[in-house]
Structures are given as C-alpha cells and as structure tokens.
Amino acid sequence: MRKPIIAGNWKMYKTAAEAKAFAEEVKTALPSAEKVDAVICAPALFLQNLVESAGNTDLKIGAQTMHEEKEGAFTGEVSPVQLKDLGVEYVIIGHSERRQYFNETDESANRKVVSAFEHGLKPILCVGESLEQRDSGDTGNVVEAQVEKGVARLSAEQAAELVIAYEPIWAIGTGKTATAEDANEVCGIIRKKIESLYNEETAGAVRIQYGGSVKPANIEELMNMEHIDGALVGGASLEAESFLKLLEAGA
Ligand code: PEP
C-alpha cells in the first residue's frame, strides 16, 4: 500500500513570523504519520526556522527547488548539501513555474532529481501539460515524455522512492481543477510509463500526486481515485486550518 503524501507549496508567500505561526499551529494537530506524510515546501529563507519549529513532530519540511551541484560559484542558488544539512527532507523539482520563468527543462529537472537522491533528499518531480497540449489531445504523450526524461539514470529503487506530481499547467492557481477521473487517467498513464521503464513493483510503489487548485472541497474525490496518492497544493496550503483539512482528507 502506498502512503498518501500531501505537500504544501508556499511559493513566494509568507513572512518569517507567519511561517513560524503556521508550523506551531499545524504541528500540534497533525494526523498520524502512519496514515499520511505531511510536507511543507517553503521559501529557502524560512527552511531552517521551519525545521526547528517542526522539531521531532511528523511535519516534514521541503524546498521548492535546488541547484544540481553540491557547491560552487552559483550566486543566489541553494545546494542539495545545504538543504540536507538543515534537516530538509523533500524538494520540489521542475515545477511548471520554474520551467516557465526560470528556463528549467526536463533535462535540468532530471539532473536535479539525480542529485537530490545522491544527497539524501526526496524529490517531488512535477510534470503536466499546457492547455494547448490538452486541447490538441497530446496530454498522454507530453506527460510520458516528461516522466521518461525526468527519471533517466534513476535505479528502480530510486524510482520507487520518487514522488511524481501531475500538475496540469492550466489548473495551477487558476481555480480550475481537472476532474477526478481525468486526473486519475493521467496518473494511471504515468504509473504505466514507470512500469514500462522499470517493472510492476516499481510502478506499484511510486507515489503520484495530483496538483492544480486542490482545496478542502475537492480533495476527497481526488484521493478516492486509484492512481492518486496525494496532492501538491499551492493556495490552499497557506492557511493552517485549510492545510489540516487537506491532511485529514489524505489520511
Ligand atoms: C502548485 O503550486 O503546485 C499548485 C498546484 O498551486 P495551486 O494549488 O494554487 O493551484
């Protein structure tokens, strides 16, 4: 059985005080970690404080991106070694906003995924089609190609540990959610692709999240789907009360 994973992506929101208040509130009301993995992916600036606030609780902290190199002359970047050193556990890789505004590609996402595993971080690899690609019937091909390139050079053991977030670009931050059936269909395509690249066991283990305007009102329907193992959530992860409701639905 795959354990559900609900991850909040705060993007470039919150002050340090707000981040701390959120962690203090959420950590006391978390559902059991045996039932759901609860992750907050925060701006790099707040990671240390959040790791400290989360302490020994089951609230896990993730970064929103990282550089693929362990160190070097890369002004403004954060390395996997630095994240690991802080106690960060997860890292989002290849989010569509990184692809759109910061020139990230399937190839750079793959280098980062490989590096994240090398340095003991758990990557959440984002894939998803644009509205144009969906309208022209290309969703399956686009997502399969993103997955194949994204997992290149990963062993079957690593692929089984990977979290893949299926996030149709047209559903992110727009209030439009894919129907649970459509989301499940694409998550199923992703699982099949992993099976064809590795084997049935790996495909059965990899956790696939849906992301795109997930909120307390629609998460249950999504979580009831066969191939959806959790959610990557932007807007609705910003308030503690709403994040806790998402966790309850995931547990
Ligand atoms: C995201 O940031 O990955 C996301 C899915 O955002 P939202 O939930 O706001 O659509």
User: How far apart are the CA of 177 and the centre of ligand 1, in A?
Assistant: 10
Report the residue among 96, 167, 239 best suited for mutation to probe ligand 1: largest number of ligand atoms under 8 A from its CB.
Answer: 167
Q: Are 200 and 173 in contact (CB under 8 A)?
A: no
Q: Is the pTM of this model over 0.90?
A: yes
94 lines ligand 1 (CB under 6 A): no
Nearest-angstrom CA–CA distance, 178 and 166:
11
- Answer for the pair 147, 193: CB distance below 8 angstroms, yes or no: yes
Based on the residue annotation, tell me whether 227 is a catalytic residue of this protein: no
Domain 3-250, CATH class in plain words = alpha beta
Q: Supply the ipTM of this predicted assembly.
A: 0.98
Per residue, the 3-state secondary structure of 45-58, as one string, reads HHHHHHHHHHCCCC
Number of neighbouring beta carbons within 10 Å of residue 76: 6
Q: Ligand 1 within 6 A of 244 CB?
A: no
Domain range summary for the chain, segments of one domain joined by +: 3-250
The Å distance, Cα 73 to ligand 1 centre, comes to 31
Output the tens digit of pLDDT for each of the chain's 251 residues: 899 999 999 999 999 999 999 999 999 999 999 999 999 999 999 999 999 999 999 999 999 999 999 999 999 999 999 999 999 999 999 999 999 999 999 999 999 999 999 999 999 999 999 999 999 999 999 999 999 999 999 999 999 999 999 999 999 988 888 899 999 999 999 999 999 999 999 999 999 999 999 999 999 999 999 999 999 999 999 999 999 999 999 99
For ligand 1, say whether the CB of 204 is within 6 Å of any of its atoms: no
Q: Are 109 and 150 in contact (CB under 8 A)?
A: yes
User: Does residue 68 line the site of ligand 1, with CB under 6 A?
Assistant: no
- The answer to whether residue 52 is catalytic is no
